[in-house]
Structures are given as structure tokens and as C-alpha cells.
Amino acid sequence: MSVPSASKRERLRALNEKFIVEDRWRTASERARLYILSAALVVVGVAGFLVILADIVQRDDVAAIDSPLNAWLMQSRTGTATAIMIGLAIGFGPVALPVLVLGTIVVWGYFAKHMWRPLLLALGTLTGLVLVQVITRLVERARPPVDLMLFGIDTTYSFPSGHVSGATNFLLLVTYLIYSRRRRHWAAVLVAGIVLVVAVGLAAISRVYLGYHWPTDALGSICLALAILGGVIALDTWRTVRVRPSGRDAA
């Protein structure tokens, strides 16, 4: 039996290391806090989603907060705001966003030492996509009247919003997967959190402003994304976090 050459062994080792999950050393209490965080996100996300869904069903497709918020946004329309919101809709839309997500996964996977985090990003975004497609067909909620739509007519189902779900899933997962591996620079974490909230908020507002979704469509999507993030954190913690008294990764 032939022995692999040195260069071939190196290539095989490099390929193997791509799929090795890196260990993160934490104390037992730190690992427990990660599980508590993941459980809290799942509970809050699922509970919020179910409360919104129940309100939609009980009120025959229009929840209590939908009409006043929708009316306020319709009255706030201006030419400049509309142009900005259309730009956001294109950026978070079914063409640009999948390209961004797929490009991020491919590039990150190519340059990463380990494939675990790009695979988690792919798993989380795919889970969100499948859930939205299934739920919209089960709920069959009608969109707002077509005369409110500013960027073409869409007669597909409304709850939850695919745009908001995709954008929120991607932004939450990328932020977690990056900052969970960094040493705690609170200023950077704070800035990332502010940018995340603003970006998710703009994605949600744009869909309602342009007349394609009710406010509760966007809120339901955000709740769904929080639950998915909680599941990803739990899986990531189970697979990568190891316990030792010092609880710190090597520098």
C-alpha cells in the first residue's frame, strides 16, 4: 500500500482541520449562563410569536396594534423616505439578501480555520427560511390593501415577513458568531448592538412603510429570529464550550 506524500498529507490535514470544531474554554458558571441565555431567547421568541399569532387569529387577521401603527406610517410618507425604504427593501429583498448570505458563508468558510461557525450561519438562516415558508402557508394571512403598496403588487401571504425574518436572522447570527469568540471589548460590543438594533428596526419599518406587511408581521419575524438565535447558541455551546477552572482560552 502506497504511503501518501508529505504534500498530500498536509493537504489532508488542512482539509481535516477545516471541519474540526474549536474548543472554547469557560468556567462551569459561564457555560451555564450561555444555556440560560439560549433558553431565555427561545422562550421569549416562541412566547412572543404565539401571543402575536393568537391576536391575529382572534381579531380576524388585523391585530390590535396593526391599524394605528399602519395609519401613522402611511401619514408619514414622503418622497425621500419612500426612496430610502425602497432601497432597504431591495437590500433586504429576495435577490440581494440571499446573495449576501451565501457569499458570507462561502467566503467565511474558505478563509476560516474551522468550518463550524459558517455551518452554523447556514443552518440558522436555512431554518428561518423553511419556518417562514411553512408558517405563511399555514396561517394564510392577507397582506394590507394593494393600493397601499408602493413598489409593485404582492398578493402572497403576509405572516411572518420573509424580508424581516431573513435580515434579522442573518444579522443576529453573524453578530453572535463573531462576538462570541472575541475577548470582551465592551465598546465594540455596544456599537455592534446599536448597529444591530438599528438595522433590524429599519428592515422591519421599511416593509410596513411600503405597504406590504402589517406591523405584527414584522414583530412575529423578529420573535422567530430570537428563538432561532437561542437554538444556535445552545447548539454552539454544547458543541464547543469546554469547562476548566480558569475558564479562559489561551491567548
Q: What is the pLDDT of residues 100-144, one digit of tens each?
A: 999 999 999 888 888 899 999 999 999 999 999 999 999 888 888
How many Cα atoms occupy the beta-carbon half-sphere of 249 within 13 Å? Answer: 11
Phi, psi of 211 (to 5 degrees): 90, 15
State the sign of the Cα–Cα–Cα–Cα dihedral 185, 186, 188, 193: positive
Is residue 76 very low, low, confident or very high in pLDDT (cuts 50, 70, 90)? confident
pLDDT beyond 50 at 251: no
Backbone torsions φ then ψ of 97, nearest 5 degrees:
-65, -45
Amino acid at 46: V
How far does Cα 47 stand from its chain's mean position? Answer: 17
| pLDDT one-digit tens code per residue, 168-201 | 999 999 999 988 887 666 767 787 788 888 889 9
The Cβ of residue 25 has, within 10 Å, a number of other Cβ atoms equal to 17
Summarised one tens digit per residue, pLDDT across range 227-238 is 999 999 999 999
Query: How far apart are alpha carbons 62 and 79 in whole angstroms?
Result: 27
